[in-house]
Amino acid sequence: MSMTAAATHAAIPAPATPRLRAVPPLPVPAAETTALWWARLLRRGPGPLEYSLVAVNSDRFPDGTPVDMTAVDARGRRPAGWQVDVRHRAADGRVVRIDVAEEIADRCPPMWFAEVHHASSPVPCTSLLAFRGTAFRPGALVGLHEVAAAGVAPTDRIAEVRWWTRSGLVDTVTVEPVYRRRGVARTLVTAAEGLRFLRGWAPLRSDGRLTDAGADWLEQAHPAWRLRLAERSEVLPDADAEEELTGVARLLR
């Protein structure tokens, strides 16, 4: 090797040794659980005293267990695995807002809700309607009189879940076609489950009479809800094809 080649070879810097930083191993994914327990949290702030009733999907407590956590300042946080948060005033129990976890409502557009009690029904029956628009803030829960006062018609709703309050049996879940396959039904039913627990009503469930869309919805339901949804036992036509059918569980995604 000539001196010129040797000098050129010596000028080439050696490859830099990469700096590696030690990091802890990735956590093992938590096993799926069907347990759904309820936490009662105190929400401190400058306004009226408020509480949150939060459904939590974890094995920390047995399924269905109500847990009073008001002695601990939650500082706006919720337990890991939370599904729905129904925030309400301590003075009169009025619901301030309903929040659904992002993992459930990630594709769902912002919605506000209206609670309707069907006085004409021979058996106590309630609907939770979902609306879009700026009449109320996302997550707000209002009554029909407030909907009317805001200039919104009940028929403007984009989705509805209707159920019998004594048994928890879902009669219908309907979503306007343009909003289907965006997680609207999943978000709405989750909100309704939080509301029914606050009201002291039976857990929502289905009886196995499903449309094709309902069966598809059932297959993809969260493990915490799936046990309450009976396997398909009767095939029903979609609501769009048979508008006259009533009193059946039409689950539309």
Strand partners, 100: 84
Which of 38-52, 141-155, 229-243 reaches the highest mean pLDDT? 141-155
Domain ranges of the chain: 32-251
CA dihedral sign of residues 46, 50, 55, 60: positive
What rounded mean pLDDT belongs to the chain?
82
pTM of the model: 0.78
Q: In terms of C-beta density within 10 A (0-12 exposed, 13-18 middle, 19 or more buried), how is residue 56 classed?
A: buried
Q: Which is higher by pLDDT, 2 or 50?
A: 50
Smallest CA-to-CA distance from 39 within 4, 6, 7, 85 is with 85
Locate 62 and state its tokens: 């047995």
pLDDT in tens, 130-169: 999 999 999 999 999 999 999 999 999 999 999 999 999 9
Long-range contact list for 158-161, CB < 8 A, 24+ apart? 158/111, 158/130, 158/131, 158/132, 158/184, 159/111, 159/129, 159/130, 159/184, 159/185, 159/188, 160/127, 160/128, 160/129, 160/130, 160/188, 161/127, 161/128, 161/185, 161/188, 161/189, 161/192
What's the rounded mean pLDDT across residues 219-240? 67
What's the rounded mean pLDDT across residues 7-18? 58
pLDDT in tens, 209-227: 767 766 666 666 666 666 6
Q: What is the residue whose two structure tokens read 């569980």?
A: 249
CA dihedral sign of residues 107, 113, 115, 116: negative
Strand partners, 84: 55, 100
Q: How sure is the predictor about 19, in pLDDT bands with cuts at 50, 70 and 90?
A: low
pLDDT of residue 143: 95
What's the rounded mean pLDDT across residues 77-104? 94
Cβ neighbours of 247 (radius 10 Å) = 10
